Amino acid sequence: MAKLILLCLKVVVLCGTVEAVFEDQVGKFDWRQQYVGKVRFSHFDTHVQSSKKVLLATESNVFAAVNTRTGDILWRHVDKTGPEGNIDAFIHHGQDAVLVVGNGRLLRSWDANIGGLNWEVVLDTGSYQSACLIGQQDNVKHVAVLKKTVISLHYLFNGHQKWIENLPDSDTVDYQTVYSSGNGEVYAMGVVPHSHIAIVAYSAEDGEIIKQITVEAPWLSNIKSSCAVIGKGMLICVDVATVSLYMLDLHGESQMTQILLQSLGLEVSPGFHPVLISTQPNPARQPLSEFFLQLGPEHYPLLQLNNGQIVTLRDFNPAMQVSFATTGEKTVAAVMLPKNKTVSLCKSYRERVHLYISMLFACSINLYSAETGRRLLDTTVTFNLDPNGGKPVKLYVQAFLKKDDAVGYRAMVQTEDYTLTFLQQPGRVMWTREEALSDVVTMEMVDLPLTGTQAELEGEFGKKADGLMSMVLKRLSSQLILLQAWIAHAWKMFYDARQPRGQVKNEVTIENLSRDEFNLQKMMVMVTASGKLFGIDSKTGNILWKRYLDNAPSNAVFKLMVQRTTAHFPHPPQCTLLIKDKNTGLATLHVFNPIFGKKSHITPPALPQPILQSLLLPLMDQDYAKVLLLVDDQYKVSAFPSTKNVLQQLQEMASSIFFYLVDSSQGRLSGYRLRTDLSTEQIWEVVIPTEAQKIVSVKGKRPNEHVHSQGRVMGDRSVLYKYLNPNLLALVTESTDLHQERSFVGIILIDGVTGRIIHEAIQRKARGPVHNMLLVHCGFIKCTKSRRNEFSVIELYEGMELYNSTVFSSLDRPHAPQVLQQSYIFPSSISTLEATLTEKGITSRHLLIGLPSGGILSLPKMFLDPRRPEIISEQKNLIPYAPELPIRTEWFINYNQTVSRVRGIYTAPSGLESTCLVVAYGLDIYQTRVYPSKQFDVLKDDYDYMLISSVLLALFFATMISKRLAEVKLLNRAWR
Amino acid sequence: ALPLHILSTLASNNRKLKSGFCFCHQVGDAMDTEFSGFSVPLEHSFEVDDLAMFRARGALVMKAGREPSVSLAQNQLSEEDRTKLKEVAAVDGLYRIRVPRVFLQADRQPERHMESYITAFVRACAMVESHLSDVITLHTDVSGYLIGISIVTMPGACRGTEVEDEVDLEVFNTTLSVMVPVNAPGPETALFLERLEQESEKKGKNPQEQKSFFAKYWMYIVPLVLFLMMSGAQDQSGGGAGGGAANGGGR
């Protein structure tokens, strides 16, 4: 009996998992990379000498520990997005890492070793100001949190509140920092802008106010940005207006003493607000009496406070970054100095001689004794800054004592492009983490060239050849080069085959990039929010090239377009990135080669006017680059490339080039037509009043989307033809009235050429967020309705007859299509929505749904068919209707490889019709392949070639023999 | 219920035309009394140089009442316009129409957005070749506010056939329809549950089917299992014997 049940179970399990990945396929076709985001706070785990951890708290609300040897994430905690999970402060003490989260909402303590949560307490409401550790007699037992109106003290080991006190005069005084030097007193420091400083000293024991000081300071507006406590409780503030330092003894005086910077021989760079950089190595002791005073972008003098006098120990000018580090009793200052800029001539790989003059910015980090300002011997680390990266913005130093009591250190450098570089003496780069990839904005997948050598031939074939003879020669030489490359490839294969197995390296580098048989390996071009571009090999996930665009504004929106693919061999592939400033609308173009990341020699046009719309036409110039049209705010059109050939083609095509603009603030959709003189005229307009509803999303068809079958076969063998309008736009509106009963979500299907509204529907009692997606003949929207998530599917059909089966023209479709619509309940919320895409559109399509849980669900479109019948009918290919869509575990294409905070899914067709490449990006990046209709065009790995060939051969011989025998028999019969 | 009301109007009434014509210059009160409703101008433009110059084509008349309706009153094309339309068609120009943004109910006109229009177009040649037979659809939002207009001709294609008879281009043969948003169907949980209940009831009626797999086939399974157990026991005892035999054979 038990055996039978087990057998049944096995059968069920085996049948159930056929769609999922087999265990031995894990990691074979897919990879995942995890990121943490832009680092805000970082501390080295120095609790144990041998610790190999650096703790990072990031702007993406992630708290993580990274292995300092390898750069891998040891553990990671991803909090809520937005201000709710914002990490305000990170205090590290021993084994505990204390975080203040969500504008002072929560106080959390993590175990730095294993990443477990020690405790979490909810703090009183109020906006967070500052936090610090409180020590007494060399023991740190408490943490103080200063808020707008209250100050509270918590035990470090369990988070319980020791005391909480209201701050005096908190309605007028703006309390900003809290300080303690380990003598049992806690100072809360506040300022009344342009009037005075208020300092309240509390007893750490019971919260009793020991004393209250107010000091006149009419020049001060912000304590946090311009003051610091130095040495034995001396508050030092810097004032730009009078170019001087002000000192105040917290223990005694009630008057600030002014020291002119000039008297110290220091000068402030014009327009720069000086910053004080101090350090308190042990929270139970006083801060160091040495500090840096940053006077300019690259000017850091090291000062010392000595008996009320300020002495300059050493002047670092220019210095790129400074940082203090403490080990044991020693505190050192690490200074990053720029080295001489070396101009080096780089010879490009292979024989082709390309000379590049590249500027390599070398930097060196040195340690200086904090007390004396003397340079420590043998502490120089020299390293080269990545010429395609940004400038260093922060330096984190971990110092340690070597066996001979000398100070050794490791350094982590953070650059503008969010990259973390970990350095070890003497100048070895241990690892780099490209944290910019935690915020991918848009991406494209580009086919790889046939071989790297061919792509390098661009220089020779860039010239125009017009004569017949030269054309022939050009063709012949290119064929010769192909032959040469092939022979080289064959030789290499032969050579490799003779080598023992283990020695053959299959490392992918930019040189040996080449397309595989089925075009499954592609170049992923990723654009990140920081303005850094990446080229990633889709097979392995290796970063092959990167480029930081330092001219990209911080609030830029990006649009990436592939102008020329790899298919036009002598011409290099070309991608164009449109970088648009969100506020001004001014845009720039960055033209580059997507395979190598090199900036193209083509100079993009200058765009003096704000850009409203950009469109990539299927039209090509003589160099096979697709024409990019840019519409500016004067409704003038400029083309890129704008050669004579292009302009002539545009003039011919002008009457059939239409485009639309959406102004969601006014609810206005307008259609324009191109004129022969490249001006435009408005031809239609639809206005959706903004009082009732606002446009939230507009989606059109993807240009490389195909639909193979024109119709669907019904149960009675008749054909229902699809309405295949490539110009269709799906517009989703949301009601402005958010009341549950009156709110609605509207969907409008519009023809983008004629402005004809094809369908208009509303989903009552529904609310956003709405995810909208348009396939060629059906659209999907997802909305929230009375606390559940719903899918709404609209499919358009022409009916039983086609109007014009040969050609589709939006101008000639008088009949409105039949609309079928159905809604389904989806049992989870949704982060993003995309559909699989294949080469010819024969494979059935699946919907890829990114769930907030980190799973990526591949939902067959069949389940979303609006024609799913209520009762089981003769239409065999339809599943009977059920209002709720199932989520089956085997539909998760990323099995246990959770993708945190999925923001987008990108799909690209491969050379195999059955296979679609999928990249999901968010905080993590995940790449895999999906087979929506199984691998119908690929033989299985364990296919028995021997059997089939022996059967074939046997049959062949059998036929030959029987033929011979038949002939003999016939002859014999004829003789008879 | 897709279109709210379909009111096809063939208009050749001169009186109506004149009043409609007046209307675009002055927001007339006279109209309101005549139709006990509200009317807005429908304008068209067709120029050889494709610069829009809108002139009156007719008027949309909205009747108030319990069943609000919209009808179209429009004039004939003049001799001059006819030749112009043919000229425009010859250079593949556009025939555009526009209406102001209003509420499609006569009794709800809070403010009149006469300066703001919604426009649509059709190829002029299609207009000529269809002998001015067009279908105009007015699209409204949930509250009945006009958001879009669309025009198609029947037939829609330009085949280059010459329209000889001038009379064919005199009178508009317009079908007017109003499209309001459809209420999208929600997930039909109630029906589904009902069906499930029905099925379970059906099952309840004949308890034969309700039985589980084992309950149904126990008479086959039990002997099988017994047989298997018996044979397994035999195997164990028989295995030793077999082994002995094999040893014997090997000698």
Transcribe A656-702 into DSSP letters.
G-EEEEEETTTTEEEEEEE-TTSBEEEEEEEE--TTTEEEEEEEE--
Average pLDDT over residues A857-877: 75
Does A216 contact chain B (CB < 8 Å)?
no
User: How far is Cα A654 from Cα A677, in angstroms, rounded to an integer?
Assistant: 9
DSSP category for residue A435:
G
**Does B158 contact A759 at a Cβ distance shorter than 8 Å?**
no
If you measure CA to CA, which chain A residue comes closest to B194? A870
Is residue B130 domain-resident?
yes
**Which of A684, A759, A764 is the closest to B183 by Cβ?**
A764
**Does B118 contact A754 at a Cβ distance shorter than 8 Å?**
no
Report helix, strand or coil for A945: helix
- CA dihedral sign, ordered A546, A549, A555, A559: negative
Is residue A912 domain-resident?
no
Same domain, A424 and A328: yes
Which residues in chain B have Cβ-Cβ distances shorter than 8 Å to A880? none
| Nearest to B64, CA basis, from B105, B101, B32, B104 | B105
**Which of A683, A693, A790 is the closest to B94 by Cβ?**
A683
- CA dihedral sign, ordered A465, A466, A468, A469: negative
pLDDT at A735: 84
pLDDT above 90 for A921: yes
Under-50 pLDDT residues of chain B: 1-35, 237-251
Beta bridge mates, A306: A309
**Does B152 contact A870 at a Cβ distance shorter than 8 Å?**
no
Is residue A671 domain-resident?
yes
User: How far is Cα A69 from Cα A50, in angstroms, rounded to an integer?
Assistant: 11
- Shortest distance between the Cα of A810 and any Cα of chain B, in A, equals 10
Does A346 contact chain B (CB < 8 Å)?
no
Q: Among A632, A666, A687, where does a domain finish?
A: A687
Same domain, A257 and A322: no
- Among A662, A673, A677, A760, the strongest candidate for a mutation testing the B interface, having the largest count of B CBs within 10 A, is A760
- Shortest distance between the Cα of B1 and any Cα of chain A, in A, equals 12
Structure tokens at A641: 């490339």
Is residue A376 domain-resident?
yes
Which residues in chain A have Cβ-Cβ distances shorter than 8 Å to B225? 1, 4
Which residues in chain A have Cβ-Cβ distances shorter than 8 Å to B120? 684, 754-756
**Which of A684, A686, A814 is the closest to B147 by Cβ?**
A686
User: How far is Cα A544 from Cα A149, in angstroms, rounded to an integer?
Assistant: 52
- Shortest distance between the Cα of A731 and any Cα of chain B, in A, equals 13
| pLDDT one-digit tens code per residue, A624-654 | 888 888 888 888 888 888 888 888 888 888 8
**Does A804 contact B92 at a Cβ distance shorter than 8 Å?**
no
pLDDT above 50 for A14: no
Beta bridge mates, A695: A733
User: How far is Cα A929 from Cα A916, in angstroms, rounded to an integer?
Assistant: 6
pLDDT at A353: 37
**Which of A3, A692, A792 is the closest to B141 by Cβ?**
A692
Same domain, A430 and A285: no
Residue-range definition of the domain harbouring residue B163: 37-179
Which residues in chain A have Cβ-Cβ distances shorter than 8 Å to B186? 763, 785, 790, 823
For chain A, percent helix, then strand, then coil, each to nearest 5?
15, 45, 40
**Which of B118, B153, B179 is the closest to A687 by Cβ?**
B118
Is residue B77 domain-resident?
yes
**Complex-level ipTM:** 0.72
- pLDDT band, residue A431 (cuts 50/70/90): very high
pLDDT above 90 for A906: yes
User: How far is Cα A885 from Cα A891, in angstroms, rounded to an integer?
Assistant: 12
**Does B145 contact A823 at a Cβ distance shorter than 8 Å?**
no
pLDDT at A510: 63
Is residue B122 domain-resident?
yes
pLDDT above 50 for A130: yes
Q: Decide if A54 contacts A39 (C-beta within 8 A).
A: no
- pLDDT band, residue A656 (cuts 50/70/90): confident
Buried b (16+ CB within 10 A) or exposed e, A942-954: eeeeeeeeeeeee
Same domain, A412 and A352: yes
- pLDDT band, residue A289 (cuts 50/70/90): confident
Which of 854-883 (A) contact B at CB < 8 A?
870-871, 881-883
Q: What is the strand order of the sheet A611-620 is part of?
A: A611-620, A626-632, A637-640
Q: Which residue has the higher pLDDT, A5 or A37?
A: A37
Measuring CA to CA, how many Å separate A827 from each of A530, A766, A767, A868, A886? 35, 16, 16, 19, 8
Q: Decide if A339 contacts A382 (C-beta within 8 A).
A: yes
Report helix, strand or coil for A261: helix
User: How far is Cα A562 from Cα A346, in angstroms, rounded to an integer?
Assistant: 29
**Does B187 contact A813 at a Cβ distance shorter than 8 Å?**
no
Is residue A873 domain-resident?
no
Same domain, A421 and A528: no
Same domain, A642 and A536: no
Which residues in chain A have Cβ-Cβ distances shorter than 8 Å to B180? 760
Number of domains in chain B: 1
**Does A746 contact B142 at a Cβ distance shorter than 8 Å?**
yes
pLDDT at A268: 85
Same domain, A324 and A399: yes
Same domain, A375 and A451: no
Mean pLDDT across chain A, nearest whole number? 83
Is residue B12 domain-resident?
no
**Angle (nearest 5°) at CA B130 between B129 and B134:** 140
Same domain, A587 and A644: no
Does A782 contact chain B (CB < 8 Å)?
no
Is residue B163 domain-resident?
yes
Taking one residue from A and the other from B, the number of pairs with CB-CB distance under 8 angstroms is: 130
If you measure CA to CA, which chain B residue comes closest to A5? B214
**Does A692 contact B116 at a Cβ distance shorter than 8 Å?**
no
pLDDT at B234: 60
**Does A687 contact B135 at a Cβ distance shorter than 8 Å?**
no
User: How far is Cα A233 from Cα A237, in angstroms, rounded to an integer?
Assistant: 13
Number of domains in chain A: 5
**Does A814 contact B154 at a Cβ distance shorter than 8 Å?**
yes
Average pLDDT over residues A548-566: 87
pLDDT above 80 for A454: no
- State the burial class of residue A362 (Cβ atoms within 10 Å of its Cβ: 0-12, 13-18, 19+): middle
**Angle (nearest 5°) at CA A574 between A569 and A579:** 175
Q: What is the strand order of the sheet A744-751 is part of?
A: A693-700, A728-735, A744-751, A757-764, B182-183
| pLDDT one-digit tens code per residue, A363-419 | 888 899 888 888 888 888 888 888 778 888 899 998 888 888 888 888 999 998 899
Highest mean predicted confidence (pLDDT) among A258-267, A484-493, A946-955: A946-955
User: How far is Cα A277 from Cα A880, in angstroms, rounded to an integer?
Assistant: 69
If you measure CA to CA, which chain B residue comes closest to A759? B181
pLDDT above 50 for A123: yes
Same domain, A292 and A391: no
Structure tokens at A352: 């082709």
What pTM, to 2 d.p., does this model score? 0.82
Q: Decide if A286 contacts A280 (C-beta within 8 A).
A: yes
Which residues in chain A have Cβ-Cβ distances shorter than 8 Å to B135? 814
Measuring CA to CA, how many Å separate A440 from each of A856, A903, B166? 17, 9, 63
Measuring CA to CA, how many Å separate A684 from each of B94, B176, B230? 11, 18, 86
pLDDT at A857: 92
Is residue B18 domain-resident?
no
User: How far is Cα A673 from Cα A660, in angstroms, rounded to an integer?
Assistant: 9
Does A1 contact chain B (CB < 8 Å)?
yes
| Nearest to A213, CA basis, from A230, A198, A223 | A198
Q: Among A570, A604, A638, where does a domain finish?
A: A604
Same domain, A255 and A346: no
pLDDT at A12: 42
- pLDDT band, residue A89 (cuts 50/70/90): very high
pLDDT above 80 for A546: yes
- Among B104, B139, B140, the strongest candidate for a mutation testing the A interface, having the largest count of A CBs within 10 A, is B139
| pLDDT one-digit tens code per residue, A743-779 | 888 888 888 888 888 888 888 777 666 777 766 666 6
Same domain, A358 and A241: no
If you measure CA to CA, which chain B residue comes closest to A756? B150
- Shortest distance between the Cα of B247 and any Cα of chain A, in A, equals 32
**Which of B119, B148, B181 is the closest to A761 by Cβ?**
B181
Q: Decide if A748 contacts B140 (C-beta within 8 A).
A: no
**Does B183 contact A762 at a Cβ distance shorter than 8 Å?**
yes
Is residue A776 domain-resident?
no
Scanning chain B, the segments in alpha helix (DSSP H) are: 14-23, 30-35, 79-90, 124-129, 189-205, 207-210, 213-250
pLDDT at B250: 37
**Does B184 contact A4 at a Cβ distance shorter than 8 Å?**
no
**Which of A3, A686, A811 is the closest to B148 by Cβ?**
A686
Is residue B188 domain-resident?
no
Which residues in chain B have Cβ-Cβ distances shorter than 8 Å to A819? 182
If you measure CA to CA, which chain A residue comes closest to B152? A814
**Does B121 contact A870 at a Cβ distance shorter than 8 Å?**
no
Residue-range definition of the domain harbouring residue A669: 611-687
Percent of chain A with pLDDT over 70: 89
User: How far is Cα A510 from Cα A489, in angstroms, rounded to an integer?
Assistant: 16
Which of 732-761 (A) contact B at CB < 8 A?
744, 746-747, 750, 754-757, 759-761
pLDDT at A154: 92
Number of H helices, E strands in chain A: 7, 63
- Among B92, B133, B152, B214, the strongest candidate for a mutation testing the A interface, having the largest count of A CBs within 10 A, is B152
**Which of A683, A762, A883 is the closest to B121 by Cβ?**
A683
* CB under 8 A, 24+ apart: contacts of B86-90: B86/B128, B86/B163, B86/B169, B87/B48, B88/B46, B88/B47, B88/B48, B88/B124, B89/B123, B89/B124, B89/B125, B89/B127, B89/B128, B89/B129, B90/B125
Is residue B190 domain-resident?
no
Does A818 contact chain B (CB < 8 Å)?
no
Percent of chain A with pLDDT over 90: 20
Which residues in chain A have Cβ-Cβ distances shorter than 8 Å to B52? 681
In degrees rounded to 5, what are phi and psi of residue A504? Answer: -70, 120
**Does A754 contact B94 at a Cβ distance shorter than 8 Å?**
no
